[in-house]
Copies of this chain bind each other. A is one copy, B any other.
Amino acid sequence: MKEGPDIARVAALLGDPARANMLTVLMSGRALTAAELAQEAGVTPQTASSHLAKLESGQIVVPRKQGRHRYFTLSGPDIVEALEVLMGIANRVGHNRVRTGPKYPELRKARVCYDHLAGDMGVALFDGLAKRKLIASDVNGVALTPAGIDFATMFGIDLDGLRAKRRPLCRECLDWSARQSHLAGSFGAALLDRFYDLGWARRVPESRIVRFSDTGEKSFRDLINP
């Protein structure tokens, strides 16, 4: 008997097309109902129920009841990270499900990864913050520098409020499409919320795509490369 973590059990939970579809759509960070997940997965509610029971038992998703609705979310950012890494591998080895249309390039450009910005613009954000020395390495991956703290305050982000949460301010997340890192963590999430608030970007409904306006993208570029 081998010792250590049983990765086969976790991987097997992710390794079914229906469950993978559910988890992928949950990467948007939004809670979804069992019926919605069934539809996204392309299976009947009975089948979806069976899959969700497995995911819940394996602590991959967390349920929450509200009347007769049952909402599900991913159980932690490590699930998002696993899915991103697996997407990167699938992309490299050519296991892609391709449908002609504009959405795929848009997903690569800017999308939500759980609650923060991913895609080429997410990577550019990370790069720009590092180049401006607003973030730097530490044992948790990345942390805000003193200059970064000033910047956050000037940019309208309540750092004290973020620190009150039980999650790291900054965390590095591997971006499958760019094969580089973007910024996760509560600060990363707050930045994306701020872009929404400023009107620079908005979520495309029923999708993980984040669409920047022309002026929003210009402001974004100015922010990371003044």
Cβ-defined contact, B3 with A104, below 8 A: yes
Per the 8 Å Cβ criterion, residues 59-93 of A in contact with B are: 59-60, 75-76, 78-79, 81-83, 85-93
A164 within 8 A of partner (CB): no
Q: How many angstroms between the C-alpha atoms of A92 and B74 in the bound complex?
A: 14
A156 to B10 CA separation, bound complex (whole angstroms): 41
Among A133-141, A190-198, A215-223, the stretch in contact with B: A133-141
Contacts A82-B82, A140-B181 supplied; 9 other A-B pairs, CB < 8 Å: A5-B95, A6-B20, A8-B17, A10-B90, A11-B12, A59-B93, A79-B89, A130-B139, A141-B141
Whole-angstrom distance from the CB of A194 to the nearest CB of chain B? 21
A128-161 Cβ-contact flags toward B at 8 Å (1 or 0)? 0011000111111110000000000000000000
Establish whether residues B8 and A11, one from each chain, have CB atoms under 8 Å apart when the complex forms.
no
A107 CB–B CB distance under 8 Å: yes
Tell me whether A24 and B4 are in contact (CB under 8 A): yes
Contact B87 A85 (CB under 8 A): no
* A9 on the B face (CB < 8 A): yes
Judge if A174 is at the interface, Cβ distance under 8 Å.
Answer: yes
Q: Which residues of chain B come closer than 8 Å to A130, judged between CB atoms?
A: 136-139
- Given known contacts A12-B16, A180-B140, is B59 in contact with A92 (CB within 8 Å)? yes
With both chains docked as a complex, state the minimum distance between the C-beta of A13 and any C-beta of chain B, in angstroms: 8
- A residues apposed to B, CB below 8 Å: 1-17, 19-21, 24, 58-60, 75-76, 78-79, 81-83, 85-99, 101, 103-104, 107, 123, 126-127, 130-131, 135-142, 172, 174, 176, 180-181
Interfacial chain B residues near A101, Cβ < 8 Å: 3
Q: Could you tell me if B90 and A86 are in contact, using CB atoms closer than 8 angstroms?
A: no
A2 touches B81 (CB 8 A): no
| Chain B residue nearest to A90 in the complex (CB) | B5
**Contact assessment for A95 and B4 in the assembled complex, using a CB-CB cutoff below 8 Å:** no
> Do residues B91 and A5 form an inter-chain contact, with CB atoms below 8 A?
yes
Chain B residues whose C-beta falls within 8 Å of the C-beta of A6 in the assembled complex: 17, 20, 90, 95-97
A127 touches B139 (CB 8 A): yes
Q: In the bound complex, how far is the Cα of B15 from the Cα of A7, in angstroms? A: 7
